[in-house]
Amino acid sequence: MHKPLTALLTIAIATAAFAAKSNAPKIDPEKIRAHVKYLASDELEGRGMNQKGGDLAAEYIAAQFKSYGLKPAGENGTYFQRVPMVAVQTLPDTNFTLVPKSGSPLDLKPLDDYVATNERQTPSIDIDAPIVFVGYGISAPEYHWDDYKGYDLKGKVALLFVNEPNSDDPNFFKGKALTYYGRWTYKFEETARRGAIATLIIHRADLASYPWTVVRNSWGGEKSFLQLDDTPKLAAASWIQEEVARKLVGIAGLDLDKLFQQSQSRDFKPIPLPVDLKAHIASSVRPYSSRNVLAMVQGSDAARKSEAILYTAHYDHFGIDKSKPAGQNIFHGAADNATGCGIILELGRVWAETKPAPSRSILFSAVTAEEQGLLGSEYLGKHVKQLPVQPILDLNYDDLPPIGIPEEVEVTGAERTTFYSTVQEVAKQFSLTIKPDSRPEAGHYYRSDHFSLGRVGIPAFSVSEGMKYQGHDIAWGQAEAKDYVEHRYHQPSDIYTPDMDFRGDALMAEFGYALAQKAANAATTPAWLPGDEFEHAREKTAEASPRPNASGK
Ligand SMILES: [Zn+2]
């Protein structure tokens, strides 16, 4: 595009956006509150997959969409897309024993010492195999990094650290930022591809960026998977406590801290340990299906209405933990992610009232099974061609604290797309400072549903609040975030309270409305920047069918 035209377009777009902002139907924070209050109530039982609460939540969201006049965008003229899944729960007669070549075996205590899930979706499986320490378990040709050095993992148990080699160099594992190689999902996928029977991830709170309680709560109960395809899977996908790992390598006369140091080196080679894992994993295995909820506003331009701006927010949470006493066993998930649902519902209402409709269509999806590993959005991404309109951009909302009016916005990932200049312009209009990822080392980009769309080539990012709120300093926002992570995140205490302030969530919805307004009317469609890890993902997705469940980078 020529420069003068760009300048003209920019002015035209800015003017249109200003008009759009001032004339747009108003987002109502109290409507968002009402959705959050209901979705996080005891009646919804924590919106668990394969539980009554999850179904109630999906029904509620679909009914709301319908009441606004949005069109169904699911299968067979419905608001739903069926997601075939399997619920696997590790049963109490599971046992994990570390058996040294000499000396006495060490029995591990479930939940305190380890969590494990049989990804192969069978009721019973036995493991008796040698343990091999593989450092970070990463094979990353673009960084000239290979922890395996040709070592054959077939039939072995991989022991490894979560995260990736330490670096400040932006060209080496993106410096402080976490790449997909550092994610636990990658570890399980990569070791399974290499034939491992089991994988033990060593939990270190600093490396994982969350404490053991999060692992325990996320893995201790029933876990869901997409129904098996031909992707290799582990008989035991497991996390172990740091202290257990210390004992385990101690049996071999090794020191965990020294092993960690060794893992920072390109020269690292796998270290077979004189210890076997002897395990029996008993699981209840129940196939079921869950649902993504899909609704849309039809675009007004005949040539462009087949393309859509997609909003996503996951509606699932951890449901009821029936092993705990009544009254303290519901994972309410108010912030995570009744807030995101409240936001896309309110966006749905407002978009339905927007006349005339934008050129492109607007698509809404409340997705399932995010907490189980982004499964609902993964299914959505894999089956995107079956949707009535094709998403060209995904704006995701996940866990937006209702604590007041933010003066910052986080849009991590947007800077990797051609849409970023528009994002900057809209942020300016809203007097929002774009905050760089507050904790790039936590790899948030790979931890919410936009990633499922990103990895199939659709420019995608989450919209969320930064740390600076009106009337407070940044330290206040940081303290709030810390308090949330320590006391409520993924715990039954993430409840709705009447003192919550939804004006910030409403502002984030307005911001997302303005972004979609621009994208929906723009002359061009957004794309990943050249050289981005997702730049060619769309072509690959079109070629590879069925796409493997577990493709890495
Ligand atoms: Zn969550």
490 Cα–ligand 1 center, Å = 6
336 Cα–ligand 1 center, Å = 5
Mean pLDDT value across residues 438-465: 88
Mean pLDDT, the chain, rounded, equals 90
- What local confidence, expressed as pLDDT, does residue 545 receive? 41
- What local confidence, expressed as pLDDT, does residue 366 receive? 98
Does 36 score more than 70 pLDDT? yes
Does 298 score more than 80 pLDDT? yes
315 Cα–ligand 1 center, Å = 10
* Each residue's pLDDT tens digit, 380-391: 998 999 999 999
318 Cα–ligand 1 center, Å = 8
First to last CA, the chain: 31
Inter-residue contact 508 to 465 (CB < 8 Å): yes
CA pair distance 198, 478, nearest whole angstrom: 38
1 Cα–ligand 1 center, Å = 42
Q: At what angle do helices 503-521 and 420-429 cross, to 10 degrees?
A: 130
Mean pLDDT value across residues 410-439: 94
68 Cα–ligand 1 center, Å = 28
Mean pLDDT value across residues 308-323: 93
CA pair distance 431, 433, nearest whole angstrom: 7
Higher pLDDT, 13 or 256: 256
40 Cα–ligand 1 center, Å = 13
Q: Is the peptide bond before 272 cis (omega within 30 degrees of 0)?
A: no
Give 158-215 as a 3 state SS string.
Answer: EEEECCCCCCCCCCCCCCCCCCHHHCHHHHHHHHHHCCCCEEEEEECHHHHCCCHHHH
- What local confidence, expressed as pLDDT, does residue 2 receive? 37
- What local confidence, expressed as pLDDT, does residue 24 receive? 62
> Which of 75-89, 188-202, 223-237, 327-341 bottoms out in mean pLDDT, i.e. has the lowest?
223-237
335 Cα–ligand 1 center, Å = 9
376 Cα–ligand 1 center, Å = 13
CA pair distance 334, 437, nearest whole angstrom: 23
Mean pLDDT value across residues 395-412: 97
399 Cα–ligand 1 center, Å = 7
Q: Which two tokens stand for residue 102?
A: 């000499």
329 Cα–ligand 1 center, Å = 16
Mean pLDDT value across residues 115-128: 96
Does 9 score more than 50 pLDDT? no
- What local confidence, expressed as pLDDT, does residue 99 receive? 97
317 Cα–ligand 1 center, Å = 7
Does 333 score more than 90 pLDDT? yes
Confidence category of residue 8, pLDDT binned at 50, 70, 90: very low
Higher pLDDT, 160 or 208: 160
- What local confidence, expressed as pLDDT, does residue 3 receive? 36
101 Cα–ligand 1 center, Å = 41
Inter-residue contact 115 to 107 (CB < 8 Å): no
Inter-residue contact 375 to 226 (CB < 8 Å): yes
- What local confidence, expressed as pLDDT, does residue 544 receive? 45
- What local confidence, expressed as pLDDT, does residue 549 receive? 37
Long-range contacts of 8-16 (CB under 8 A, 24+ apart): 9/523, 10/425, 13/422, 13/425, 13/518, 13/521, 13/522, 14/425, 14/429, 16/517, 16/518, 16/521
Does 5 score more than 80 pLDDT? no
* Each residue's pLDDT tens digit, 233-268: 999 999 999 999 999 999 989 999 999 999 999 999
- What local confidence, expressed as pLDDT, does residue 7 receive? 39
∠ CA 45-50-52, nearest 5°, is 40
Among residues 302, 506, 527, 259, the alpha carbon closest in space to that of 400 is found at 506
Long-range contacts of 471-480 (CB under 8 A, 24+ apart): 471/404, 472/404, 480/401, 480/403
* Each residue's pLDDT tens digit, 510-540: 999 999 999 999 999 999 998 777 887 776 6
Mean pLDDT value across residues 322-326: 82
- What local confidence, expressed as pLDDT, does residue 542 receive? 54
CA pair distance 15, 460, nearest whole angstrom: 25
Higher pLDDT, 534 or 116: 116
Does 269 score more than 50 pLDDT? yes
Task: Give the DSSP per-residue string, 93-119.
Answer: T-EEEEEESSS--EEPPBTTTEEEE-T
Mean pLDDT value across residues 159-176: 87
501 Cα–ligand 1 center, Å = 20
Residues of the chain above pLDDT 90, percent: 75
Does 155 score more than 70 pLDDT? yes
> Which of 168-172, 331-335, 352-356 bottoms out in mean pLDDT, i.e. has the lowest?
168-172
370 Cα–ligand 1 center, Å = 7
- What local confidence, expressed as pLDDT, does residue 401 receive? 96
Inter-residue contact 160 to 208 (CB < 8 Å): no
- What local confidence, expressed as pLDDT, does residue 541 receive? 59
- Bridge-based pairing state of the strands 198-203 and 236-241: parallel
- What local confidence, expressed as pLDDT, does residue 405 receive? 97
* Each residue's pLDDT tens digit, 65-115: 999 999 999 999 999 999 999 989 999 999 999 999 988 999 999 999 999
